[in-house]
Amino acid sequence: MKKCVQCGQTLSDDNRFCHKCGGSAFEEATGAGSYQQPAYQQPVYRPPYQEQPNAGNREPATIGDYIVFFLLQLIPIFNIVYTIIVAVGSPSRKISMTNLARAVLILWAIGLALGIVLSVIGAFSMFSLIGNHKYYY
């Protein structure tokens, strides 16, 4: 068996021209094997279902959730531990609170980095001032 390249008509091997479109170009009619390939793509669609365990805490955080979170931010040292625990997240914790805690941690990191940069700049300017004074003596 062979197949017309132009119209896909299946022909017997002794046909020299396609009796449907008149074309003379043929390929081996291995259609039965090649048409099974799409079936292999079906298992790939499974991963989205694995996210469902997190779907339970997709509900928005309430006003009370935010008030508790920010009240606990007022306690020194404990607030760092608490925010990291919330940021790591757990199946029972609301995803919006997890995102809030992550945002707070990022802001802390930015603040810490800015503080380090400013103190380094401050230290250098102090040293240069001391250096200048020595020149004047």
Residue 105's closest CA among 76, 80, 133? 80
Whole-number Å distance between alpha carbons of 1 and 14: 9
Give me the least distance between CB of 57 and Zn ion, in Å please: 59
E strands in the chain: 2-4, 10-11, 26-28
Q: Which is nearer to Zn ion, 4 or 104 (CB)?
A: 4
Query: Is the CB of 10 or the CB of 54 nearer to Zn ion?
Result: 10
Structure tokens at 105: 């941690």
Toward Zn ion, which CB reaches closer, 26 or 69? 26
Q: What is the identity of the amino acid at 46?
A: R
If the CB atoms of residues 23 and 89 are measured against Zn ion, the closer one turns out to be 23
Sheet holding 26-28, edge to edge: 10-11, 2-4, 26-28
Q: How many CB atoms within 10 Å of residue 62?
A: 12
CB of 49 to Zn ion, least distance (A): 44
Q: How far is the CB of 19 from Zn ion (least distance, A)?
A: 8
Contact residues for Zn ion, defined by CB under 5 A: 4, 6-7, 9, 18, 20-21, 23
| CB of residue 21 to Zn ion, shortest distance in Å | 3
